């Protein structure tokens, strides 16, 4: 009979931990069997994004969700990876010209209030209706944020219910855009541009759960395609505040909440013992 006490130092991270206990046998002889017990833990930022696509990939078709929740995405033709980052640092961005990034958020809880944060730079000389992001509902856009002639439009199904004025988006210029949708507050949409509120509308047409269908970035199934560069897409399962939006603009690449230390692992502890009869 023995006892092993494992002390976990979360380095300031809070929340639940995902733990694995692994038993490995190095010998088939019971009397010589060595059992290795490895305890590992990952910390998740439960107050942060439910999905985060840094778009730092430079090749392939897989787009990683860096939250640890593994809500990964795929990319099709018409999206060029490895473009110069819009937020600086060592990362990259993605250039869109005809297709989309498709994310599966079905493992997220029902997202009725949500926020989408991203960096964008629309190509010059393009005036057609363009999809920044949308949710696919069996071939129909359940909702979407679109760009037309420098204005952002909020679509539900096939109808524009809300549009900014005075064309705040200038092609060839990088912006930080946050769209906050509050079903719980009379179907209210708030748009922030570079940390400042630029539009707000209540009483919009409702739709089902945000996560109840693929999330599309940069196109709607090859139509209404965005032309330009998108970077650092963060999706939150809540309505973030004006202060939060300002923080994300002032701190490119950072997220809200308390992310785990670099690499996600907060403890790796190994214990070995020789057991003769067990």
Q: What is the pLDDT of residues 97-142, one digit of tens each?
A: 988 999 999 888 888 899 999 999 999 988 789 999 999 877 777 8
Q: d(Cα 261, Cα 266) in Å, to the nearest integer?
A: 7
Mean pLDDT across the stretch 149-159?
A: 88
Per-residue pLDDT, 138: 75
| b/e code 186-216 from CB counts within 10 Å (16+ = b) | ebbbbbbbebeebbeeeebeebebbbebbbb
The pLDDT, as a whole number, for residue 24 is: 57
SS3 content of the chain, % helix, strand, coil (to 5): 5, 45, 50
Is the predicted pLDDT of residue 278 greater than 50, yes or no?
Answer: no
Residue 36 pLDDT grade (very low, low, confident, very high; cuts 50, 70, 90): low
Position 18 pLDDT exceeds 70: no
Residue 17 binned pLDDT confidence (cut-offs 50, 70, 90): low
51-65, 126-140, 172-186: least confidently modelled range: 126-140
CA angle 147, 233, 236 (to 5 degrees): 105
Chain mean pLDDT for the chain: 84
Q: Is the pLDDT of residue 74 over 70?
A: yes
Tell me, what's the pLDDT at 274?
A: 47
The Cα–Cα gap between 85 and 82 comes to: 8
- Does the pLDDT at position 220 exceed 70? yes
- pLDDT of 277 higher than 60: no
Q: Which of 189, 188, 176, 199 is nearest to 247 (CA)?
A: 176
CA distance 33 to 27: 5
Asked whether the beta carbons of 146 and 226 are under 8 A apart, the reply is no
Give the least confident one: 28-37, 90-99, 130-139, 182-191. 28-37
The pLDDT confidence band at residue 1, using thresholds 50, 70 and 90, is very low
Q: Is 49 helix (H, G, I), strand (E, B) or coil?
A: coil
| % residues pLDDT > 70 (the chain) | 78
How far apart, in whole angstroms, are the C-alpha atoms of residue 23 and residue 28?
14
> Is this structure's pTM higher than 0.75?
yes
């Amino acid at each position: 009979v023995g006892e092993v006490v494992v002390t976990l130092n979360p380095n300031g991270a809070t929340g639940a931990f995902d733990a694995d206990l692994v038993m490995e046998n190095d010998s088939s002889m019971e009397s010589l069997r060595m059992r290795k017990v490895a305890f590992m833990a990952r910390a998740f930022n439960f107050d942060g994004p439910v999905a985060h696509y840094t778009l730092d990939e430079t090749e392939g078709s897989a787009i990683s969700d860096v939250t640890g929740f593994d809500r990964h995405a795929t990319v099709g033709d018409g999206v060029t990876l490895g473009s110069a980052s819009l937020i600086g640092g060592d990362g990259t961005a993605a250039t869109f010209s005809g297709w989309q990034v498709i994310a599966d958020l079905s493992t997220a809880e029902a997202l009725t209030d949500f926020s989408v944060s991203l960096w964008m730079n629309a190509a010059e000389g393009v005036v057609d209706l363009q999809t920044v992001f949308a949710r696919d509902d069996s071939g129909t856009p359940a909702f979407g944020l679109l760009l037309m002639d420098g204005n952002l439009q909020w679509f539900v199904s096939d109808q524009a219910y809300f549009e900014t004025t005075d064309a705040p988006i200038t092609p060839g210029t990088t912006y930080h855009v946050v769209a906050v949708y509050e079903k719980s507050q009379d179907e209210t949409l708030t748009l922030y541009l570079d940390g400042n509120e630029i539009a707000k509308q209540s009483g919009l047409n409702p739709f089902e759960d945000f996560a109840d269908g693929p999330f599309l970035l940069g196109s709607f199934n090859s139509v209404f395609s965005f032309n330009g560069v998108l970077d650092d897409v963060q999706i939150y399962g809540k309505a973030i505040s004006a202060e939060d939006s300002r923080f994300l603009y002032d701190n490119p690449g950072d997220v809200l909440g308390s992310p785990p230390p670099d690499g996600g692992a907060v403890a790796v502890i190994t214990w070995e013992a020789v057991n003769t009869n067990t």
